Amino acid sequence: MRGPDVTELTIERLGQRGEGIAAGPIYVAFALPGDRIEAEINADRGALKQIISPSADRVPAICGYFGTCGGCAVQTLAAPAYETWKRNLVVEALRHHKIEVVVAPLANVHGAGRRRATFHAAMENGKARVGFMQARSHDIVEIDGCPLFAPELGGAVQAAREISQALAHRNKPLDLVVSTTINGLDVDVRGCGPLGDADIQKLTKLATSLNLARLANHGTNIVERLPPLVQMGLAQVALPPGAFLQATIAADHALAQAVVSAIGTSKKIADLFSGVGTFALRLAQKAQVHAVENDAAALRALQIASHTPGLRQVTTELRDLVARPLQPAELNGFDAVVFDPPRAGAEAQCRELAKSTVAKIIAVSCNIQTFTRDARILIDAGYSLETVTPYDQFLYSTHVEVIGVFSRKIVKAKRRLFG
């Protein structure tokens, strides 16, 4: 049986997944436009074997794990070319859906680095192997640190390793969600199942020695030594275990500022898929907000934080917006709607928004494909997409955050006077 062929290729462009693309097309991970390479070819895939002559835009990787760890796809591309490629991910997705709008320059919101990470652990002969998934594999790459982490996340790898080792006797693969908070690291362990008294006592002591704010097991507190607080505008939010947060503090601030600015003078706002209040708590400094979310713990945290002095009224509603989106009659009472759904998007909710009289809609998305699908629904219903701004908080990855601002002019019927 013939093995893969080895041949020379010239990389012509960079694909949506960060792979270099040569004529064919042939896709080669970690190759860059302008590279002349030697690759082992198997069908339409190439494995990079040697760089014969490098691209003019090739720079050294900042991390020794690059090329093995699956966290970064494009780390050796010089900044100007990288920013152009990432912005073009948004431009091309909009073009594919025939959406005409000027896309703003890419905003770098990496800031001081990542404030949360999910580590994976596998057990081998009683020893825990802890790190990130290998590129295009489910194998674990053990790491000692990551240059993309914020300084406050510096102790996260060691904490994840010690917690995993304490649970190695259970011989189960684990995910450990670690977030930075005002009072220290917050860790939620997933995958180990219910814990007995011996394990709980062992982990409680470990949380103290690691100086964790909290240690939880799949959403249930093992020990909370200090409240795991994060700042959101005027308010401090006590996070539920494993709660969703924007990946960097810089992104959290920039996205919230953009949403608040886009709202303008609106006085009554619906914040859909609100989470713990990333937008709602900032919007409440200038408007009345109705926050809708399907995660009861997140909504409860938001509700408590909303009592912060200086905020206007925030009402909350526990509701699955995928299965039961807000209807036009419910939406029409709002001056503006903000939505920030999971990666699957907000298709069902957008179909109802399309029938509404809401004058302004601000869409926040971490998935450009579902954003463009949802945008097409609103545009076809008469909304104008005024601006699209891409944000890069997942540096060197293929992920890009976007904010789109939609508006429509509502023509109100005038009463005719006779006489």
pLDDT digits (tens, 9 = 90+) for 328-371: 999 999 999 999 999 999 999 999 999 999 999 999 999 999 99
CATH topology of domain 85-110+245-407: Rossmann fold (3.40.50)
Model confidence at 136, pLDDT cuts 50, 70, 90, reads: confident
Where in the chain do CATH 2.40.50.140 domains reside? Answer: 5-58
CATH of 116-230, one of 2.60.120.380, 3.40.50.2000, 2.40.50.1070, 2.60.40.10: 2.40.50.1070
Is residue 192 annotated as part of the catalytic site, yes or no? no
Proportion of the chain above pLDDT 90, given as a percent = 92
Output the average pLDDT for the chain.
Answer: 94
Active-site choice (69, 192, 350, 366) = 366
Residue 416 has pLDDT above 50, yes or no: no
Where in the chain do CATH 3.40.50.150 domains reside? Answer: 85-110+245-407
Model confidence at 409, pLDDT cuts 50, 70, 90, reads: confident
User: How confident is the model at residue 415, as a pLDDT?
Assistant: 41
User: How confident is the model at residue 311, as a pLDDT?
Assistant: 98
User: How confident is the model at residue 410, as a pLDDT?
Assistant: 60
Model confidence at 255, pLDDT cuts 50, 70, 90, reads: very high
For the chain, give the secondary structure using H, E and C: CCCCEEEEEECCEECCCCEEEECCCEEEECCCCCCEEEEEEECCEEEEEEEEECCCCECCCCCCCECCECCCCCCCECHHHHHHHHHHHHHHHHHHCCCCCCECCCEECCCCCECEEEEEEEEECCEEEEEEEECCCCCEEECCCCCCECHHHCCHHHHHHHHHHHCHHHCCCEEEEEEEECCEEEEEEECCCCCCHHHHHHHHHHHHHCCCCEEEECCEEEEECCCCEEEECCEEEECCCCCCCCCEHHHHHHHHHHHHHHHCCCCEEEEECCCCCCCHHHHCCCCEEEEEECCHHHHHHHHHHCCCCCCCCEEEEECCCCCCCCCHHHHCCCCEEEECCCCCCCHHHHHHHCCCCCCEEEEEECCHHHHHHHHHHHHHCCCEEEEEEEEECCCCCCCCEEEEEEECCCCCCCCCCCC
Averaged pLDDT, 106-122: 97
User: How confident is the model at residue 6, as a pLDDT?
Assistant: 81
User: How confident is the model at residue 137, as a pLDDT?
Assistant: 79
User: How confident is the model at residue 167, as a pLDDT?
Assistant: 97
Residue 1 has pLDDT above 70, yes or no: no
CATH topology of domain 5-58: OB fold (Dihydrolipoamide Acetyltransferase, E2P) (2.40.50)
In this prediction the pTM is 0.92
Where in the chain do CATH 2.40.50.1070 domains reside? Answer: 116-230
